[in-house]
Amino acid sequence: MGWILLTVILLGQGLSSGVTASDSVCTELQGERIRWIVPSRAGGGYDRYSRLIQPFLEQRLKANIVIDNRPEAGGIVGAMAIRDAGPDARTLGVINASGLLAAAATRQVQVPDPSRDFTVLAKVVSNRMFVFTGRDSGFENIHDLVEHSTRNPVIAGIRDVGSASFLALPITASLIDLDFVTVTGYVGNTNRVLALIRGEIDLIIQNFDSVRPYVDSGELLPLLDVTGTGAGAAGPVTMLGGPSGLAAKTAMKNQRPVQEAVRKAAALSAIVSAGRLVVAPGKLPQPLGDCLQAQLMSMLTSEEFLNAASKAGLTIDAADAESALSNLEASRESLAEFNRLVQKQIEQVRK
Partner 1 sequence: MDSAVLTAAYEGFAMVFSWPYIVYPLAGTLLAMIFSASPGLNSSSLMALAIPLTYPWEPLPVVLIFGAFLGGATFMGSITAILFNIPGKASNSVTLLDGYPLTQQGKAKTAIGAAAAASALGSTIGIIMLIVLIPFMREAAIALGPPEYLMLAIWGLTTLAALCGNSMIKGLAAAGLGLQLAFIGYDPRTAEPRFAAGIDYLGDGLSLVPVLLGLFALAEVIDLIVSKRITLSGKRTASELHGSVSEGIRSVFSHFFLFLRSSAIGTVIGAIPGIGSSVAGFIAYGHASQTARDNANFGHGDIRGVIAPEAANDAKDGGALIPTLALGIPGGSGTAIFLGVMMLHGLVPGREMLTGNLSLVFALLWSLFLSNWLTSLLGLSLVSPMARLSTIRTGRILPLILVLAAVGAIQYRGMVADLLCAVVFGVLGFLMKRYGWPRIPLVIAFTLAPLFEYNLHLTLQLQELGRIEFLSRPVVLILLALTGLNLALPPFLGRLRAIRSVSR
Partner 2 sequence: MKPATGVVRTAFTLSMLLFCAWMLVDSFSLSRTAALIPLAVISGSLGLLALQFLLDLIASRKEAALNGTDQDPHDPDLATGAQPDRRIMFFRAVFWVSLLAFVVWGLGLVAGSALFSLAFLRGHTRESWAYCIVYALGLALTLSLLFFVLLNVPPYAGAVFHCQ
Q: Which residues bind partner 1 (CB under 8 A)?
A: 2-3, 6-7, 9-11, 13, 15-17, 41-44, 47-48, 51, 54-55, 67-70, 72-73, 76-77, 80, 103, 106-109, 155, 160-162, 181, 183-188, 190-191, 193-195, 197-201, 213-214, 216-219, 308, 311-313, 346, 349-350
Enclosing H/E stretch for 36: strand 33-38
Does residue number 120 form part of the binding site for partner 2 (CB under 8 A)?
A: no
**C-alpha closest to that of 70 among 87, 104, 95, 100:** 95
DSSP state of 74: G
Q: Which is nearer to partner 2, 311 or 350 (CB)?
A: 350
What pairing do the DSSP bridges indicate for beta strands 64-69 and 33-38?
Answer: parallel
111 in Cβ contact with 104 (< 8 Å): yes
Alpha-helical regions (H) of the chain: 2-9, 45-61, 76-84, 97-106, 142-151, 164-176, 189-198, 212-216, 246-253, 258-272, 286-300, 303-311, 321-337, 339-350
- Strand partners for 125: 276
Cβ of residue 2: shortest distance to partner 2, in angstroms? 5
Region from 1-9, 49-57, 113-121, 207-215 binding partner 2, contact rule CB under 8 A: 1-9
Q: Binders of partner 2 among 24-53, rule CB under 8 A?
A: 33, 35
Cβ of residue 326: shortest distance to partner 1, in angstroms? 29
258: exposed, middle or buried (C-beta count within 10 Å: 0-12, 13-18, 19+)? middle
Cβ of residue 68: shortest distance to partner 2, in angstroms? 8
Q: Which is nearer to partner 1, 11 or 303 (CB)?
A: 11
Cβ of residue 305: shortest distance to partner 2, in angstroms? 23
Pairwise CA distance, residues 94 & 39, whole Å: 7
Q: Which is nearer to partner 2, 28 or 68 (CB)?
A: 68
Q: Which is nearer to partner 1, 6 or 253 (CB)?
A: 6
Does residue number 85 form part of the binding site for partner 2 (CB under 8 A)?
A: yes
Handedness of CA 187, 190, 191, 196 (dihedral sign): positive
Q: Which is nearer to partner 2, 84 or 147 (CB)?
A: 84
Does residue number 2 form part of the binding site for partner 2 (CB under 8 A)?
A: yes
Region from 13-21, 82-90, 268-276, 331-339 binding partner 2, contact rule CB under 8 A: 82-90
Pairwise CA distance, residues 349 & 40, whole Å: 25
DSSP state of 130: E
| CA angle, 113 then 114 then 118, to 5° | 95
128 binds, among partner 2, partner 1, none (CB under 5 to 8 A by kind): none
**C-alpha closest to that of 210 among 125, 112, 268, 277:** 125
Region from 84-92, 264-272, 289-297, 329-337 binding partner 2, contact rule CB under 8 A: 84-92
Q: Give the CA count within 13 Å in the CB-facing half-sphere of 65.
A: 21
86 binds, among partner 2, partner 1, none (CB under 5 to 8 A by kind): partner 2
Cβ of residue 193: shortest distance to partner 1, in angstroms? 6
Q: Which residues bind partner 2 (CB under 8 A)?
A: 1-3, 33, 35, 66, 68, 85-86, 90, 349-351
